[in-house]
Amino acid sequence: MKSIPILSDPNASSVWLPSVYRRSGVESLSSTPAESRSATPSLYQTYHGYHTSQSHQSLAALVSTPPSPTLSREWVQPGSIARLHNRDDADIWKGWRRWIFRLVPFLTFTNTALYLTYLGLRIACVILAQKAQGITFPGAWIFIAIEIIVAIPSQMHNFWTMWALKKRTRPKLRLIGNEVPTVDVFVTSCGEDDEVVLDTVRAVCEQDYPRDRFRVILLDDGKSERLELAIGNLAMVYPNVFYMARTKIPGVPHHFKSGNLNYGLDQVHNLPGGAGQFMAALDADMIPEQEWLRAVLPHLLADPKMALACPPQLFYNTPPSDPLAQSLDFFVHVIEPIKDALGVAWCTGSGYIVRREALDEIGNFPLGSLAEDVATSTLMLGKGWKTAYVHEPLQFGTVPEDYGGHLKQRTRWAIGTVDTAFKMNFCLWGDSVRQMTTAQRFSGFLYATLSLYTILLTASLFAIPIILVWGKPLVAFANYEQLRWLIRACFAATISNRLCEFALFIPAGYHTGQRGSRYQLWMSPYIALCIVRAFLLPKWLGGQAQAFKPTGSLHSALNERDLKTRKNMFRRLWAVLFNYMAVFHLSFVYLTLVAVVLTSYRCFFWESTANGIIMCLLTHAFWPPLTFLFICSSLWTPVSYAIDPPAMPDREDLLKRDPKTGVAHPTRESKKIAFGGQAIWFELEYTVATAFTALVFVYSFIF
């Protein structure tokens, strides 16, 4: 048997030579001419005597009647798609959780109304106090500004989640039989561990899909000889697997992942059978479930205007308590389903399947972006195409295993989102967004704005210890009656916010949502710094369009999650505080706590009565719901991570591997985030702050 085909010319213009695979004396048929650019109905003609992978014949009984009207399309034949359930997320969350989640729009509206009422009352009381006493209260005004700035992200999300009134009705579908579309599955890699990449390739090869109807193509931007050899060996078992590696000329932009994908899109035209009708893509570490293709494709087949369908990115190596909020659970289980209901589903970068005609119309994957996935789906929406979010657990990958890798990943996402927004006028006007709906435009504007907003949020953090040390009252009022109503309004807004959070976070898990709220605060300085460098500073002042890079030199990996090889605590602290600039977080927490102690001491020194001391403490540092405590605990995250990072087992211990085929899938336990002590600590803090707010509310009826 001949080895897997390789490029005869390493340049981008090279073509694939037809390759003959011999199995039991049978060879594949001739390839489609390279000049043909149309998506042909078949990748290969079926091998004589060769059995394709198993199909979902067991589901045939489910489609004994024609599909529902929503699935009836001209070329979707009756019996080809099974409707397993009216909801695609029926197995993810159900029961009483769904009933409570239905209250989210109403709770969100109530929370927003109460917060605006409280804010208006705060402002009115400051104005009335200034008129009554003839002085200004700068500390109160600054504190109001900080509260508004810190609350803006949550209020913007509140406005977005109120749109959850629009019910999401995407069903759970499966493609049946062997008469299925042809698909080119791209696995993109660039320097990842060979075994990680091969686990993904093997899992794709074992898809429950006719083997003559899909190809697996490893697009290796790392140009690994070992990977090329390994794929050649796999091709002896799976004749539909290929290896491709483009030549990257120094000094010539290669456009990272989007350039790699476009290279693959061009080269598949020269493979036997030409290009497939659909293209699918997986990141190098994303292991798909066996039914991935059959689960996602029906959503494209049921609607000829559906350009792209994407399942959530889930992970199997998330550490207990997820201290860095690395899982995307809140986004994939809460935000993205709401976006899908409004027709604004994003391509999340892996596991998606896309229609070739839609890619052709937008000129393939856009170049020059660090977020080619978001840019691609946005351009498709702007051309009038639809995108879908398939809320099923169909792929599991790995989160970065070190602090620096996490920072690089998230800042790259933020820069890519903002860069895409600038190029598309924040989805507000222009030819590229001409056919977008109002919801689609608002979504594009919102998420780019939230990234830019981190600059203002980071700047506002500096003011907190300053105004506390200043000693000026944070809350101004003309008389005790005004103070009573301020406290009651604050209590109502706080409790409604807690209830709203509980209901909103249910699909992802309550603690997951809380981690996301803390993440927005401690990650803001990193995102703000990278955005300033990428979009505001000129190069001669340190401007650079790239993700976060550690300062100084890190001579070796910290290996913080490996009990055997991790660096000692002093080395971890030094790296996180100075190389990764978390000294800002430490300084903020230290200065804020010192300021709180100093202000509290002044209250005991200035006031002589118990009531006077309590009033002073409330209005100078301890105004409910103890916002400074939540901000300090959030910004302490990098320091606590350096001191006590979570330990994780080896990757192999998180997988269940078939000894015969070598195919591995994550274990059931590894797909869930373990509950750890850190989650208990933060919940205790939240409970104390809520209880404190309730006690102050009760006290408002006494003083």
Give the CATH number, domain containing residue 218. 3.90.550.10
Tell me the two tokens of residue 148.
Answer: 């508004």
Q: Quick one: which of 526, 494, 495 has its CA closest to 635?
A: 526
What is the C-alpha to C-alpha distance for residues 380 and 306, in angstroms, rounded to an integer? 10
What is the C-alpha to C-alpha distance for residues 285 and 33, in angstroms, rounded to an integer? 34
Q: Which residue range forms the structural domain that includes residue 82?
A: 60-90
Report helix, strand or coil for 428. coil
SS (H, E, C) 104-133: HHHHHHHHHHHHHHHHHHHHHHHHHHHHHH
In a domain, 263, yes or no: yes
Tell me the two tokens of residue 644.
Answer: 């006590």
Q: Quick one: which of 667, 663, 665 has its CA closest to 202?
A: 663
Could you check whether the bond before residue 253 is cis, i.e. omega within 30 degrees of 0?
Answer: no
Considering the entire predicted model, what is its pTM? 0.85
- Cα–Cα distances in angstroms (integers) from residue 293 to residues 204, 237, 278, 286, 378, in the given order: 9, 20, 11, 14, 23
Q: What is the pLDDT of residue 18?
A: 29
Per-residue pLDDT of 231-267, as tens digits, reads 999 999 999 999 999 988 888 888 889 999 999 999 9
- The residue from 349, 384, 399 where one domain ends is 399
Q: From the CB of residue 168, how many other CB atoms can be counted at a distance below 10 Å?
A: 16
What pLDDT band is residue 293 in, cutting at 50, 70 and 90?
Answer: very high
Helical H segments across 96-234, by residue range: 96-101, 104-133, 138-161, 194-205, 225-234
Spatial contact of 614 and 696, defined as CB atoms under 8 Å apart: no
Strand order in the sheet with 386-389: 241-244, 214-220, 183-189, 278-283, 353-355, 306-310, 386-389
Task: Specify the residue for token string 């505001």.
Answer: 536
Dihedral over Cα of 291, 293, 295, 296: its sign: positive
Q: From the CB of residue 55, how many other CB atoms can be counted at a distance below 10 Å?
A: 18
What is the C-alpha to C-alpha distance for residues 653 and 177, in angstroms, rounded to an integer? 35
Residue type, 430: G
Task: Find residue 186's DSSP bridge partners.
Answer: 217, 281
553 Cβ contact list (under 8 Å, min separation 6):
579
69: pLDDT strictly greater than 70:
no
What pLDDT band is residue 550 in, cutting at 50, 70 and 90?
Answer: confident
- The residue from 90, 112, 128 where one domain ends is 90
Same domain, 198 and 85: no
Mean pLDDT of the chain: 84
Same domain, 250 and 349: yes
Spatial contact of 432 and 420, defined as CB atoms under 8 Å apart: no
In a domain, 301, yes or no: yes
460: pLDDT strictly greater than 90:
no
What is the C-alpha to C-alpha distance for residues 353 and 278, in angstroms, rounded to an integer? 7
Q: What is the pLDDT of residue 78?
A: 54
Q: Quick one: which of 482, 469, 327 has its CA closest to 399?
A: 327
Considering 335-349, 388-402, 465-479, the range whose residues carry the highest mean pLDDT is: 388-402
What pLDDT band is residue 652 in, cutting at 50, 70 and 90?
Answer: very high
Q: What is the pLDDT of residue 12?
A: 35
Our CA dihedral for 511, 325, 517, 529, rounded to 10 degrees, sits at: 170
In a domain, 66, yes or no: yes
Q: From the CB of residue 554, how many other CB atoms can be counted at a distance below 10 Å?
A: 14
In a domain, 195, yes or no: yes
In a domain, 174, yes or no: no
Per-residue pLDDT of 402-428, as tens digits, reads 999 999 999 999 998 888 888 888 888
208: pLDDT strictly greater than 60:
yes
| Backbone φ, ψ for residue 501 (5° rounding) | -60, -45
What is the C-alpha to C-alpha distance for residues 5 and 241, in angstroms, rounded to an integer? 10
Spatial contact of 313 and 286, defined as CB atoms under 8 Å apart: yes
Same domain, 77 and 221: no
Tell me how long the chain is. Answer: 703
What is the C-alpha to C-alpha distance for residues 252 and 262, in angstroms, rounded to an integer? 16
- Cα–Cα distances in angstroms (integers) from residue 433 to residues 356, 360, 382, 401, 421, in the given order: 20, 17, 4, 38, 11
Q: What is the pLDDT of residue 657?
A: 96
Q: What is the pLDDT of residue 70?
A: 45
Report helix, strand or coil for 552. coil
Same domain, 236 and 352: yes
What pLDDT band is residue 554 in, cutting at 50, 70 and 90?
Answer: low
3-state helix, strand, coil in the chain (%, to 5): 50, 10, 40
Q: What is the pLDDT of residue 77?
A: 55
Considering 74-78, 155-159, 166-170, 456-460, the range whose residues carry the highest mean pLDDT is: 456-460
Per-residue pLDDT of 520-546, as tens digits, reads 899 999 999 999 988 888 777 767 767
Q: Say how many domains are in the chain.
A: 2
Per-residue pLDDT of 261-292, as tens digits, reads 999 999 999 998 899 999 999 999 999 999 99
Task: Find residue 243's DSSP bridge partners.
Answer: 218
What is the C-alpha to C-alpha distance for residues 268 and 259, in angstroms, rounded to an integer? 15
SS (H, E, C) 258-290: HHHHHHHHHHHHHCCCCCCCEEEEEECCCEECC
What is the C-alpha to C-alpha distance for residues 188 and 87, in angstroms, rounded to an integer? 31
- Cα–Cα distances in angstroms (integers) from residue 546 to residues 337, 432, 529, 534, 550, in the given order: 30, 25, 11, 7, 12
In a domain, 235, yes or no: yes
In a domain, 545, yes or no: no
Q: What is the pLDDT of residue 555?
A: 61
10 Å CB burial of residue 570 (0-12, 13-18, 19+) is exposed
Q: Quick one: which of 216, 211, 178 has its CA closest to 198?
A: 216
482 Cβ contact list (under 8 Å, min separation 6):
125, 128, 129
Q: What is the pLDDT of residue 34?
A: 31
- The residue from 399, 427, 447 where one domain ends is 399
Same domain, 195 and 327: yes
The HSE-up count of residue 186 (CA atoms within 13 Å, CB side) is: 31
What is the C-alpha to C-alpha distance for residues 449 and 83, in angstroms, rounded to an integer? 38
Tell me the two tokens of residue 643.
Answer: 């001191």
In a domain, 457, yes or no: no
Same domain, 375 and 249: yes
Q: What is the pLDDT of residue 483?
A: 94
Task: Find residue 655's DSSP bridge partners.
Answer: 666
E-assigned strand segments in 235-367: 241-244, 278-283, 287-288, 306-310, 314-315, 353-355
Tell me the CA end-to-end span of the chain in Å, nearest whole number.
90
How far, rounded to the nearest angstrom, does the alpha carbon of residue 292 sit from its chain's CA centroid? 20
Same domain, 194 and 332: yes
Q: What is the DSSP letter of 334?
A: I
The HSE-up count of residue 499 (CA atoms within 13 Å, CB side) is: 19
Higher pLDDT, 467 or 156: 467
Same domain, 77 and 185: no
Tell me the two tokens of residue 222.
Answer: 């790392």
Q: What is the pLDDT of residue 28?
A: 31
